[in-house]
């Protein structure tokens, strides 16, 4: 096990309908690098992942977002899926929680449709990033520069398009979490 993230705490923010592999692969990569990980969600109990449109496994929530503070974590991971980021962006506490990481200059890793939450948090303006292709208009309308790349890093913000990009996404997420705060990581 690598120790490059030893002593760091990484939050994973998700709710029902997340793309399961977009949570589990980064979760394992961050844990393997030595970080403590916590699953944050809208409600206590369990949330359900999906393998595309098929219901998959359940995961125990460690903390609800109403009780979570970005200041307690060194970084944030946002898995995609369709229902997950759509529900999160409609929840003021989830949007605020994500935005606080940018205000505190902490690294954030978002994949696929998770960028919807960052559009809602108004943190993509002036940034270059990637996502599932159907979000490119939303990102451009929010002032971001969308690129079609497997992974892109912009001042501590790691973004990727889809599950096929997870290997590169995980490598860059661990790298950015290891680097820590970025002065350019602002809302």
Residue position matching structure tokens 């892109």? 152
Query: b vs e for 45-78, b when ≥16 Cβ sit within 10 Å of the residue's Cβ?
Result: eebbbbeeeeeeeebebeeebeebebeebbbbbb
Find the catalytic residue in 48, 52, 105, 113: 113
Q: In 3D, which of 124, 96, 132 has the Cα closest to residue 19?
A: 132
Find the catalytic residue in 112, 152, 170, 182: 112
Per the annotation, the verdict on 112 as an active-site residue is yes
Residue 49 token pair: 């992942």
Sign of the Cα torsion 4, 64, 77, 50 reads positive
Give the active site residues: 112-113
């Amino acid at each position: 096990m690598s120790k490059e993230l030893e002593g760091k705490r990484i939050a994973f923010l998700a709710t029902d309908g997340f793309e399961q592999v977009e949570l589990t692969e980064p979760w394992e990569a961050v844990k393997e690098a030595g970080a403590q990980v916590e699953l944050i969600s809208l409600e206590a109990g369990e949330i359900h992942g999906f393998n595309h449109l098929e219901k998959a496994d359940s995961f125990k929530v460690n903390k609800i977002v109403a009780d979570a503070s970005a200041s307690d974590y060194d970084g944030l991971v946002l898995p995609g899926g369709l229902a997950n980021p759509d529900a999160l962006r409609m929840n003021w506490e989830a949007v605020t929680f994500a935005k606080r990481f940018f205000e505190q200059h902490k690294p954030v890793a978002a994949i696929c449709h998770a960028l919807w939450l960052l559009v809602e948090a108004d943190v993509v303006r002036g940034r270059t990033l990637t996502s599932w292709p159907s979000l490119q208009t939303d990102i451009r309308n929010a002032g971001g520069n969308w690129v079609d790349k497997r992974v892109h890093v912009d001042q501590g913000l790691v973004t990727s398009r889809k599950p096929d990009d997870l290997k590169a996404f995980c490598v860059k997420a661990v790298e950015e979490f290891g680097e820590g705060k970025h002065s350019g990581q602002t809302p």
